[in-house]
Amino acid sequence: MLKKKEKYVVAVVGATGAVGNEMIDTLEQRKFPIEKLRLFASERSEGKTLEFEGSEFPVETLKEDSFKGIDIALFSAGAERSKIWAPVAAKSGCVVVDNSSQWRMNPEVPLVVPEVNALDLKWHKGIIANPNCSTIQMVVVLKPIHDAARIRRVVVTTFQSVSGTGKKAMDELLQQTTDLLNFREIKCNVYPHQIAFNCLPHIDKFLDNGYTKEEMKMVNETKKIMGDNSIGVTATTVRVPVFRCHSESLNIETEKKLTSNEARAVLSAAQGVVVYDAPEKNVYPLAIECAGKDETYVGRIREDESIEKGLNMWIVSDNLRKGAALNAVQIAEKLVEMA
């Protein structure tokens, strides 16, 4: 476990990426108790500097002894690097919060969303997994509903922004949009099809069961985080031409009947959730309004008239913040609180 200190030596691994940058900003905005900040990235980033609290910090390359003296390391450098370096960091006495998919379904590694299952942090062995971005915002909403009425089944369709793929995808959407509006030929490098003015029902690789890896992440991670394998989950994940924020359509079947007003009351009291729901006034969560926000926004809450105990709702959250950087920093904050 983390040793109690007034301030901590913190590392960000993958610091030059979109999520790494967001982690640095989030640490500063939330005034995390940092004694010293270390930044790491791949060899091509060596020599660069990044700003934190008004000072420039050098970007280093990882070495076997890099984690000596570091208390907490926030990883967002991809599964392959995490597979190699997270155990190295843990052996050095550092607690790793990893944003990749590498450790999420490992039974020895807690998969944590602090609003949902913070107590799982008690059994970590040096590595803690940050869930998939689309799973995080969903379970923040599902947990209070599950506590109130016990969820039987969830059907989710996601509308995920291109920032979930990374900076190159954001650049591709911008370039394709510019080229199309100027009647130029477009190029597809990141995605297999045009993303500008289009929707792609394809995130990550397709599996033998017809689902994508992203869809099965949502199925399996939800059950692990919620601590209930009896919940049925099925997902369709879609990439949309939005720069930032993931949106999701949820259909939830419960054991106990919850009216839409009861669901609003339950969600209004939930940590990390904002009910934004007045459709008669055109008030519902929008990606452009949720970007840069920490909370998960919920609207279009209504009873499913096709089943006796069902709810429909629309949720939006910033995938770079709550879906990645913020959740990782919140885990670090919980570790400090529990030390």
Tens place of pLDDT for every residue, the chain, 339 residues? 798 999 999 999 999 998 999 999 999 999 999 999 999 999 888 889 999 999 999 999 999 999 999 999 999 999 999 999 999 999 999 999 999 999 999 999 999 999 999 999 999 999 999 999 999 999 999 999 999 999 999 999 999 999 999 999 999 999 999 999 999 999 999 999 999 999 999 999 999 999 999 999 999 999 999 999 999 999 999 999 999 999 999 999 999 999 999 999 999 999 999 999 999 999 999 999 999 999 999 999 999 999 999 999 999 999 999 999 999 999 999 999 999
Residues involved in catalysis: 133, 246
Question: What is the fold, at CATH topology level, of the domain defined by 8-130+324-338?
Answer: Rossmann fold (3.40.50)
Which pLDDT value is given to residue 47?
Answer: 84
Which pLDDT value is given to residue 1?
Answer: 77
Residue 250 · residue 315 · CB < 8 Å:
yes
Phi-psi region of 314 (alpha: psi -120 to 50; beta: other; left: phi over 0): beta
Stated as kind and residue range, the H or E segment containing 28 is helix 18-29
Superfamily of structural domain 135-319: Dihydrodipicolinate Reductase; domain 2 (3.30.360.10)
Which pLDDT value is given to residue 44?
Answer: 87
Domain with CATH 3.30.360.10 in the chain: 135-319
Stated as kind and residue range, the H or E segment containing 205 is none
Distance CA 51, CA 194 (A): 35
Residue 241 · residue 115 · CB < 8 Å:
no
Which pLDDT value is given to residue 326?
Answer: 98
Domain with CATH 3.40.50.720 in the chain: 8-130+324-338
Distance CA 140, CA 219 (A): 15
Which pLDDT value is given to residue 150?
Answer: 98
